[in-house]
Structure formats: structure tokens, C-alpha cells
Structure 1
Amino acid sequence: MKPSHIYIEKRALGYELTERILGRYGGSSVIFIDHYKDVFNRTGQDFSRQERSRSLILAVNDGNKIFPGAPVCQDFGSERFFYSVNAMNCVFNCEYCFLKGMYPGANIVLFVNLDDYEREVDLMLADGPLYLSCSYDTDLLALEEDTGLSSFWTDLALSREGLYIELRTKSAPKSFVPSDRIIYAFSISPREVIQRYEHKTASFDKRIESVIAAQKEGAQVRLCLDPMIFVPGFEEIYGSMTDEIIR
């Protein structure tokens, strides 16, 4: 990710994540704003055009940070299934992605007040174990080199008994944290689907290499064949993929 512009809420200055981003992208134009929605939610945005040169918006989230998981989503047997939002939008460009219909533009928002997320998790853990999907509205592992956000969540899981986190990704991370409470969930699609629909994501081979590396390091891995796209030769393409995964 190389943002041409970085928009920063004035109140987001001084946060560790803000300083990290500014240190990495000294050549980007910095514009100070009052509220992230003034840029992120403005009308008349061109999603496709913005995807070619995304801007980054650094903000403080003083609203809801953790939400109940939708009943139609897999809760993996957890009675308390939630998802967190500390980033909005994704560096990838999957043609079918629901984010294209949910957000008015392609710019990426990072919420920098991570200490408030930590406090909210602690309050929720007081009521019992918590299963938290951390990459619901983004791909944190794809953003890790720039933001360190997946490390924030894995560190939190290691230090909080009863906190289980899932990091869903279409990237190919190279390092992992072995823990039964940290799940690396890889979205896997056939090569034909990745090449046709999942632009800028890791290739099938790179994802499988990453899965194998995670297993060797003792990390918890989940394979998600999701979504399944109806393409010509659907049964053969997906059948060949599952056979290759099993081998």
C-alpha cells in the first residue's frame, strides 16, 4: 500500500499507529481533517478510480467498535461470536466483494485508538469467553507490514484468557503465532477464480505455501472455500482444487 494522500483527524495525532504510518509514508501528502466521514462518506466518489490510487484516513473511533456476528455467519460453536472494526476497506480488489456496495469509496480508514479497543474487549471478557473476527471489513494480515494491526490482536489474545480471534485473509503471510486461541483463516479459491475475480490477492500456490508454513509453526489454520463462484466447469474446477488441497 502506497497512499498518495493521508488524511488525519486532528484528534488522531499523537497515537502510536498514526506516528507509525507517518514514518512509513513520508512522501505522501498529509491533509488534516475534522472527521473521517467528511472524506470517507462524501458523495460522488468513484470506487473504481480510487482503487487505482487509494488514500489512507487515520481516525479515532468514538462509536461502536465491536459488533455481534450475523446469524448467517459461521460462529464455530461459540456462544459469543463478535467482529471488530478497526479498519474499513481492503487493499485487494475482488470483483464480488460486499465492501464495494457497503462503502461509498475505496479509501481505507484505520482507527488508531487501539487502547479503547483493548478496554472494550476487557469489558466483554468479564461476561465470559469471546470469539472475535478481526478481519471482517478488511484484511488485516495484508495490512500488517504497514500497520501492525494483526500483531495488536494476536498480542491481545495471548494476554487475555478466554479471547479467541480469527484473522481471515487472501494474502500469504510468512510469520505466525502458534496458539489455540489464534486462528488463521485462509480464503481459498481455484486458480481460475483468483485470476479472474480476486485481483491483487495472493496466488493459490502462495496461499497454500503459507498454510503449510503456518502448520509447521504450530499455528491454528482454517481453510475457507468461500465464496464459491459459479463459473463454467464449476464442479471440475472446484473438485480439482479440493483434490489438490487434500494431497
Structure 2
Amino acid sequence: MHLSKNYNAPNFSRVYIEKGVVDHPNTRKILSKIKPKHSIIIDDYAQVFNRNNQNYMMQKNAVQCILAEKKFHFYYDGSPYCEDFEQEKFYYCSPVLNCLYNCHYCYLKALHPSAHCVIFVNNDDLICSVKEDLLQDGQPVYLALSYDSDLLALEGITHFIEAWFPLLRANPHLTIEVKTKANTFPFAQVPDNLIWAWSLLPQTLIDYYEPRTPSLAARIQAIRQAQRGGARVRLSFEPLLPFPNLVSHYQEMVSLLAQYLDFNQIRDINIGGFRISQKQYKKFVKTDPNNPVLVHPTILKENTHTFSEDLIQSKVLKSLLTSYFPEEKIRIFS
């Protein structure tokens, strides 16, 4: 249940620390891992994160870290733009704001004024809030833990995911999903009710839309590590995006997956298209006008921007996957 020794900590040269968490145990642990050149004490993370006239895209080239305390809103109702897997009690938590990666299609650039990474060190308060507010009636709860960041990519400095393990083991009616593109899986044993949803695309699309993220081969290797540890892995193909000769790229990707993964150990498969609200799309365009995603015209349907090809792409990919995996366990969300 421990992190691999070869884990590389994020390169944060500067860390802003709320004065109220300077002595928090997680603050000390995180600082010991990242060893920043500069540490700056601030009153409140909003002083840095919510400043006016920030250049999000410029900040993405040199992301800094902010260590803070989350004082309220420990969990939220699930977003309609996210797959709820037919769960009535669907929520998400945001122990971290913003992601180390810079995927061109990411909605975070339309959500936050800053690209810097906020880590709320009081992760235990989030866990207690979920336990006390959501789990007392014994009804099934589905909790997404990493929509606003890739928590597994940060696990080496935070250990936030591992901190949820006792609650998961004590509450089988709680299911947690962790979405990731990570190239490592640092746990030997994990709870059965923790779903690891690996985001996958053909390597050509990763190069084009997901620069500086782990390669497809590295993600496959991480999934293999997870499967050896008995993890319940979900393959998540989203967002599907326009690209020349897509069918051949999908065929190559599916062949690689079939060659290296044990599909008998795959929990299920999720396929989804690009989708962003009309309001966020305007901010998306303003923040990153040279984004390659914008080369392709979107359609507006029910206040949501998406691509007209999404459903066709989804069906093509599903047909390729059904050669190796039961059709009833493949879901299309668009």
C-alpha cells in the first residue's frame, strides 16, 4: 500500500502557504517531498488564486502550488456533464483544484481564474464530512474524487487517495471513482469499491490533444500494475475528438489494449464525447484562442457545445471493443 520509490514529485519552484496551515502535518509532508526554492506565507489562497487579470495559459508553463484549508463545500452534487452511472446519490469532491497536465480540451481553463494548483491539506475534513453527511442512511453513494485534478498523479506528495481507504472498507455502500492518466500505480492492495478510471486515447491523439501527459504505453503499463493488485479498472475513452483517419487509430489502440491487458479484469468501459456548457465555452475560447480544439466547429444542443461526429465515433469505437469485451458493459455518454 506504499508508493513506488521511483515516483517523481511535481516540480513546484514556488509554494504559497496559508498561514493557518503552516504547521499542518500534510503541509510538512508535502513540502518535504517537493522541496520548493521559495515558500511564501499568505492569509488566504484566494489572494493568489482569484486575482484579477491573470494569464492562465502563461501560468500553465510554470504552475506553482498553493497549500490551503478548505473551509466549506466539502462535496458537491454531481455535474450533469459527467456520467453518473445511474446512481441517485452522485457527488464529487475537490481536494485539489487544477491539474498538472494541460490537455487542450480541458474545461478547467474555463472554470478557474488561475492555473496554479491548490492543494487543500485538510483532506481528513472532507472524509469526515462525507462520512457524517452522506453515509449514515446506508444508501448507495457514488463519489467522484478527481474531476478537478488527477489525484493519482499527485499521490506521491499528498497520499490523499490512500487516506480514503479505511472509509471505503468500512462502508461497502460507498463507491469512489478516481479518474486518471497516470503512468504508475503505487498500491499493492486497494478496496474493491474504489474504481480506477483510466483515460485513454490513441497515441496520435494524445500527442495532439494531450501534450506532456503519459503515453498510451505508459498508461497501459500502469493499468497492468493495477490489475496485478486486484484493482477494479474502468477504461474511459473520453473525450472523443475530431482527427484524420480516426478508425485506423482506434483499431491500433484497441489492438494494443487487447494484447497487453486482461479484459476479464476490466470492470466496464465508458465512451464519451467532448461537452462543455455554453457559458464555459465562451471563457474557454477567450482564455485559449489558439487551442487546436477550436479548429473544429461545434454544435450547440441544450446549452452544451459538442461535436457532431461524437455519436458516430462512439459507435465505431464500441464496435471495435465488442470483439474483446461484453457489449452490455460498454456505456456511451454524450
Question: What's the TM-score, normalizing by structure 2?
Answer: 0.70
Alignment of 1:99-138 (within 5 A): 99-123=108-132, 124-127=134-137, 128-138=139-149
1:24 corresponds to 2:33: yes
- Rounded to whole Å, the distance in 2 between the matches of 1:155 and 1:11 is 27
- Rounded to whole Å, the distance in 2 between the matches of 1:114 and 1:214 is 24
Distance 1:72 1:98, change over 3 A: closer
Distance 1:112 1:130, change over 3 A: same
Number of the residue aligned with 2:227: 215
- Rounded to whole Å, the distance in 1 between the matches of 2:199 and 2:245 is 20
Contact 2:77/2:92 (CA < 8 Å) preserved in 1?
A: yes
The partner residue of 1:5 within 14, 18, 38 is: 14
How far did 1:77 drift?
Answer: 3.0
How far did 1:50 drift?
Answer: 1.4
Alignment of 1:187-198 (within 5 A): 187-198=199-210
Contact 1:153/1:165 (CA < 8 Å) preserved in 2?
A: no
- Rounded to whole Å, the distance in 1 between the matches of 2:35 and 2:254 is 44
How far did 1:86 drift?
Answer: 0.7
Contact 2:92/2:145 (CA < 8 Å) preserved in 1?
A: yes
The partner residue of 2:177 within 166, 171, 184 is: 166
How far did 1:6 drift?
Answer: 0.8
Bigger Rg, which one? 2
- Rounded to whole Å, the distance in 2 between the matches of 1:67 and 1:56 is 23
- Rounded to whole Å, the distance in 1 between the matches of 2:170 and 2:93 is 18
Matched to 2:173, the amino acid is G
The partner residue of 1:81 within 73, 90, 106 is: 90
Number of the residue aligned with 1:149: 160
The partner residue of 1:139 within 138, 150, 153 is: 150
Contact 2:131/2:167 (CA < 8 Å) preserved in 1?
A: no
- Rounded to whole Å, the distance in 1 between the matches of 2:211 and 2:157 is 20
1:206 corresponds to 2:218: yes
Q: Which runs of 5+ in 2 are unaligned?
A: 1-9, 260-334
Identity %: 37
Give a deviation string over 1:17-42, Cα, whole Å, max 9, x none.
11112222344211111111110011
Give a deviation string over 1:171-219, Cα, whole Å, max 9, x none.
1223333332011110000000111121221110111111122112211
- Rounded to whole Å, the distance in 2 between the matches of 1:109 and 1:68 is 21
The partner residue of 2:75 within 55, 63, 66 is: 66
- Rounded to whole Å, the distance in 2 between the matches of 1:173 and 1:142 is 8
Number of the residue aligned with 2:317: none
How far did 1:106 drift?
Answer: 1.2
Matched pairs, number: 247
1:179 corresponds to 2:188: no
- Rounded to whole Å, the distance in 1 between the matches of 2:166 and 2:186 is 14
Matched to 2:70, the amino acid is N
1:53 corresponds to 2:62: yes
Contact 1:170/1:186 (CA < 8 Å) preserved in 2?
A: yes
- Rounded to whole Å, the distance in 2 between the matches of 1:174 and 1:92 is 17
Matched to 1:236, the amino acid is S
Contact 1:154/1:165 (CA < 8 Å) preserved in 2?
A: no
Contact 1:85/1:137 (CA < 8 Å) preserved in 2?
A: yes
- Rounded to whole Å, the distance in 2 between the matches of 1:58 and 1:232 is 42
Q: Which runs of 5+ in 1 are unaligned?
A: none
